[in-house]
A and B are shown apart, each in its own frame.
Chain A
Amino acid sequence: MAMAALRREGRRFASPLISPRPITAVRSSLISENEIPFGVRSISTQVVRNRMKSVKNIQKITKAMKMVAASKLRAIQVKTENSRGLWQPFTALLGDTPSVDIKKNVIVTISSDKGLCGGINSTSVKISKAIYKLNSGPDKENKYVVLGEKAKAQLIRDSKKDIEVSITELQKHPLNYTQVSVIADDILKNVEFDALRIVFNKFQSVVSFLPTMATILSPEVVERESESGGKLGDLDSYEIEGGDTKGEILQNLTEFQFSCVLFNAILENACSEQGARMSAMDSSSRNAGEMLDRLTLTYNRTRQASITTELIEIISGASALEG
């Protein structure tokens, strides 16, 4: 027992000498002896120079990504702001009532396909899980519909039993209503629901996104609520023209409402994604700049030290010869 522990200890001590030094330990590798060949007096600055080069390259990449995100953001922001007019009439007519008691919940989580955009994807996953918990009960059923690669990767870990449908590769072409409505159609056909809860990040400004939930009730629930005179009691005061029954009208309305709200939600989330990516890339290029400054300082100091040492050696040698 003790021998084994000792051996393990010994291996741990020996390992730094055998394994190649990680490049992160720039400072320590500058003063360690095992990297400098025998007989070399000055300290090699090669490691720091390589590291500076790589940091500079990373900074270039993040700057370019920031530029790309900024230009995409501008295009999508206009679209998003225009699409807000689509859901407002529906909220005025049918209301947004998250508190109605229903059995079959379907949570539509919207996320992005690509990463490197801050915390927007984990926010929407977190909110979706909270809604799941909030609505779980003995005779209740919760299902996920996942849009985007990133939320899928996070939800697979602990709730893959509840995923019903997943949709990816949304943003290959610029987003448009036709595409979103086809997706909405697919979701409507594939899941049974009493209420759809769309979770997305609402775009406020480049740096702030509000996690938001929009609720869409199924036509049957809307009819039940309006007849019982609950939160949707006003709906009965509307007059229906033509030969359609109220049920038919409501079914058409909810389908159209879902596609419109989903359209806005996807746009808002895409806009938030670009905004978040822009600020994330901005801060990472700033970090790279700071790191570069520190490395330059270390590099120059070491160079100066070696020059000074050489000068001292020359002068003291000369004075030794004279004296």
Chain B
Amino acid sequence: MASTGAAPFWRAAGMTYVNYANLCAKMVRNCLKEPHKSEAISREKVHYSISKWADGKQEKPSVRTDSPDE
């Protein structure tokens, strides 16, 4: 029953369900033991560049990444 009580709180904090689910998944991955842990963490690498458009012009793209070399 705890989850039903908690649900409005993350929504009130401005998170979407996807964001919330990702956070939970990250917690679970961190609980794994070592050989499986690094393998599971390699599956959560994020890299892409997003840019908004206004009046038919592309604005400056921002890169979302979590790889350490950039």
Q: Do A and B bind each other?
A: yes
Interface, chain A (partner B; CB < 8 A): 160-161, 163-170, 172-173, 176-179, 181-186, 188-190, 242-244, 248, 251-252, 255-256, 258-259
Given A165-B50, A169-B63, A244:B4 Cβ within 8 A: yes
Among candidates B7, B44, B55, residue contacting A176 with C-beta atoms closer than 8 Å: B44
Residue B28, interface by CB 8 Å: no
CB pair B18–A179 under 8 Å, yes or no, is no
CB pair A251–B17 under 8 Å, yes or no, is yes
Residue B5, interface by CB 8 Å: yes
Complex CA gap A190/B59 in Å reads 14
Residue in A closest to B29 when the chains form the complex, CB atoms: A178
CB pair B56–A165 under 8 Å, yes or no, is no
CB pair B47–A179 under 8 Å, yes or no, is yes
Interface, chain B (partner A; CB < 8 A): 1, 3-5, 7-8, 11, 16-19, 21-22, 25, 43-53, 55-58, 61, 63-64, 67
Given A160-B56, A161-B55, A168:B48 Cβ within 8 A: yes
Among candidates A172, A173, A186, A251, residue contacting B50 with C-beta atoms closer than 8 Å: A186
Given A163-B53, A248-B11, A181:B22 Cβ within 8 A: yes
CB distance from A263 to the nearest CB of B (A): 11
Among candidates B21, B52, B67, residue contacting A256 with C-beta atoms closer than 8 Å: B21
Contacts of B55 in A (CB 8 A): 161
Among candidates A169, A176, A243, A255, residue contacting B5 with C-beta atoms closer than 8 Å: A243
* 23 A-B pairs with C-beta separation under 8 A: A160-B53, A160-B57, A166-B53, A166-B58, A168-B48, A168-B61, A169-B63, A170-B48, A178-B25, A178-B44, A179-B45, A182-B18, A182-B48, A182-B64, A183-B50, A185-B16, A186-B50, A188-B16, A189-B16, A242-B4, A252-B17, A255-B16, A258-B18
Among candidates A166, A173, A244, A258, residue contacting B47 with C-beta atoms closer than 8 Å: A173
Contacts of B5 in A (CB 8 A): 243
CB distance from A191 to the nearest CB of B (A): 10
CB distance from B67 to the nearest CB of A (A): 7
CB distance from A257 to the nearest CB of B (A): 10
Given A161-B56, A243-B5, A244-B4, A166:B17 Cβ within 8 A: no
Given A182-B22, A244-B4, A256-B17, A169:B49 Cβ within 8 A: yes
